[in-house]
Structure 1
Amino acid sequence: MADTPEPERVALAVAERAGVEVRELHGMTEMHRAAAIFDEVWDIGPGGTEMQPGLLQALAHSGNYVVGAFDASGGMVAASAAFLSTGDAGLHSHITGALGVSKGVGGAIKWHQRAWCLQRGIGAVAWTYDPLISRNAWFNIRRLGARPVRYLVDFYGEMPDAINAGQPTDRMLAVWELLSSPALAAAAAAASGAAAPGPAGHPEIRQALAVGPDGRPVIDREALAQDQRVTAAMPDDVETLRKTDPRSALDWRLAQREVLTTLLDAGARIVDQLPGRGYLLHRTAGAGTEES
């Protein structure tokens, strides 16, 4: 394994710890199993499907990324599909779903995806994720070294699955520069099994979006308009909140939308995620603010 290139070495190490083998899928039997995993993860009702097996077959046949993660018994426990892109990155990762029976399988797929791309001369991967789900943001920013770059309002429109039904489908576009300094640091940690690189020290900063005493969002519009460094919080568990208090979940969606679109449109960048404080954003002088 000493002669194995770094991307493959990282991918193999992460997959071994997760107890899975990640490989490309072939044939309709495997495509049907992958589609069934997506439907189970997204809790699709009778008669519906998250992604047609035939579409997965067509994507794989035309050279795109369609893989499954298999446990020691040979059963598929996760699947992922991505397609080549001329947009923000050379590959757009559309969907990844895991059944939750194998810890670390999502990471195993992403590091396999990185190796697959670099083998083909693809230097960046993009995907969308729900910016209110803190564990996804942490995984993308800290575990992978990707960077959120653009807020997309109601990107998918109304979706009928149990996870997204009844809420606007706002998404954050993340871009993973596969050989960037953050990605290489994350790869080194992943290869060794070390914790994700911790947040760097930051001076005291104000929260443009905070969690109020009642758990609802609170916007500090002065910080939003003026401060060069701010944080934007998110609820601890918005997925549960959608079920127990959908009005509060919607309030969080709209508040985060206002704060992040305002900041990103003014030239701010999301540079980190801080435990208990959410996204850390830096806005350079002259980008929507004035310095004396």
Structure 2
Amino acid sequence: MTIKELTTVAEFEAGDRLQRRVWRIDRGSTPVPAEVLNTVSHSGGYVAGAFTCDSLVGISAALVGWDTDVRRIYLLEHILAAEYRDAGIGNALKADQRSWCRARGIDSVRWTFDPLVSRNAYIALAKLGADVLGYVPDFYGPMDDGVNLCDESDRLLVTWPLDRSHDQEQTDRSGDAEHDFHEWRPLLSIDERGRPTMHPCADDVRMTCAVPADIEAVRQQDPVLARSWRRAVRECLFGVLDSGGRIAGFTRRGQYLLTPGGKQA
């Protein structure tokens, strides 16, 4: 696999076609059409592709943003699409993204992901060690592609600090080894039929919030169940963050680790 910046119209068009395949879009525009990829690239943003045997199999597009509170620039990733799961494409693009930022004096990357997609939560919070900045309900409005199936587009906004040491970057931050799960109480769990089950919790305990292993399959098989998961996870995560708590990590078991306001993991 090779990673390189996309610079030509033909490459941008290939990126548009890749997005159609990944998100199963038959008609209408892609999240970042070819002409917008061109614009992002020529305005100084990051547009890169992963290639195997000269075929484009992954793409990432990001804008350079400005944080007015701390007066620093950051990279805001809008899309990262990979043709194949578990092939290392996303990891390779993230590594290139990090190198691109460091060469330009940018020390953090931000992006959003669907909190119901467990693999994205694990990569962001456990593998990369990103920090959650907030929960945004219905960030994009309803999405009618073949993956989201008109589900509400709730998103977690995260930031990935790039100033950690190499050892810290290589550490799995899932929390499975560090945390005694007898001390964590379920706030949201999965019952025997795959449904979300809420549990009462005291305000001062550490909690877990489970999500389905494959929400995309749930959307295909049972849209009503998928919507119930959206509402339940929104209530848990948004509620904890809104009360001053934090999302401390994500486990291999598919659970968010939640701490109440003022309490550290």
Structure 2-normalised TM-score? 0.90
Q: Which runs of 5+ in 1 are unaligned?
A: 1-19, 190-195, 288-292
Moved over 6 A (4+): none
- Greater helix share, 1 or 2? 1
Which residue in the other structure is 1:90 paired with? 74
Given the superposition, is the C-alpha separation of residues 197 and 266 from structure 1 closer, same or farther in structure 2, using an over 3 Å criterion?
closer
Given the superposition, is the C-alpha separation of residues 32 and 162 from structure 1 closer, same or farther in structure 2, using an over 3 Å criterion?
same
8 Å contact 2:6–2:47 — kept in the other structure?
A: yes
Structure whose alpha-carbon radius of gyration is higher: 1
| Residues 91-114 of structure 1, C-alpha deviations (whole Å, 9 max, x = no match) | 100001111188101100001101
Superposition pairs of residues 201-280 of structure 1, within 5 angstroms: 201-203=178-180, 204=182, 205-220=184-199, 222-223=200-201, 225-276=202-253, 278-280=255-257
Percent identity between the two aligned chains: 37
Given the superposition, is the C-alpha separation of residues 130 and 101 from structure 1 closer, same or farther in structure 2, using an over 3 Å criterion?
closer
Corresponding letter in the other structure for 2:124: N
Given the superposition, is the C-alpha separation of residues 31 and 267 from structure 1 closer, same or farther in structure 2, using an over 3 Å criterion?
same
Which residue in the other structure is 1:113 paired with? 97
Which residue in the other structure is 1:133 paired with? 117
Task: Give distance in 2, aligned partners of 1:80 and 1:38.
Answer: 10
Given the superposition, is the C-alpha separation of residues 87 and 162 from structure 1 closer, same or farther in structure 2, using an over 3 Å criterion?
farther
- What's the Cα RMSD here? 2.1
Corresponding letter in the other structure for 2:16: A
Q: Which runs of 5+ in 2 are unaligned?
A: none
Task: Return the offset for 1:208.
Answer: 0.7
Which among 20, 29, 32 is matched to residue 39 of structure 1? 20
| Residues 142-186 of structure 1, C-alpha deviations (whole Å, 9 max, x = no match) | 2212122211100000112111122111011111011146xx445
Given the superposition, is the C-alpha separation of residues 108 and 229 from structure 1 closer, same or farther in structure 2, using an over 3 Å criterion?
same
8 Å contact 2:213–2:254 — kept in the other structure?
A: no
Deviates more, 1:247-256 or 1:268-277: 268-277
Which residue in the other structure is 1:22 paired with? 3
Deviates more, 1:163-172 or 1:108-117: 163-172
- Greater strand share, 1 or 2? 2
Deviates more, 1:207-216 or 1:238-247: 207-216
Corresponding letter in the other structure for 2:131: R
Task: Give distance in 1, aligned partners of 2:128 and 2:169.
Answer: 7
Which residue in the other structure is 1:174 paired with? 158
Task: Give distance in 2, aligned partners of 1:85 and 1:97.
Answer: 21
Q: How many residues align?
A: 257
| Residues 59-90 of structure 1, C-alpha deviations (whole Å, 9 max, x = no match) | 1011100011111x222111110001114961
Task: Give distance in 2, aligned partners of 1:143 and 1:210.
Answer: 23
User: Aligned with 1:85: secondary structure?
Assistant: strand
| Residues 239-286 of structure 1, C-alpha deviations (whole Å, 9 max, x = no match) | 100010111110010000001111001111111112325000112458
Task: Give distance in 2, aligned partners of 1:115 and 1:123.
Answer: 10
Given the superposition, is the C-alpha separation of residues 87 and 105 from structure 1 closer, same or farther in structure 2, using an over 3 Å criterion?
same
Structure 1-normalised TM-score? 0.82
User: Aligned with 1:86: secondary structure?
Assistant: strand
8 Å contact 1:144–1:186 — kept in the other structure?
A: no
Which residue in the other structure is 1:16 paired with? none
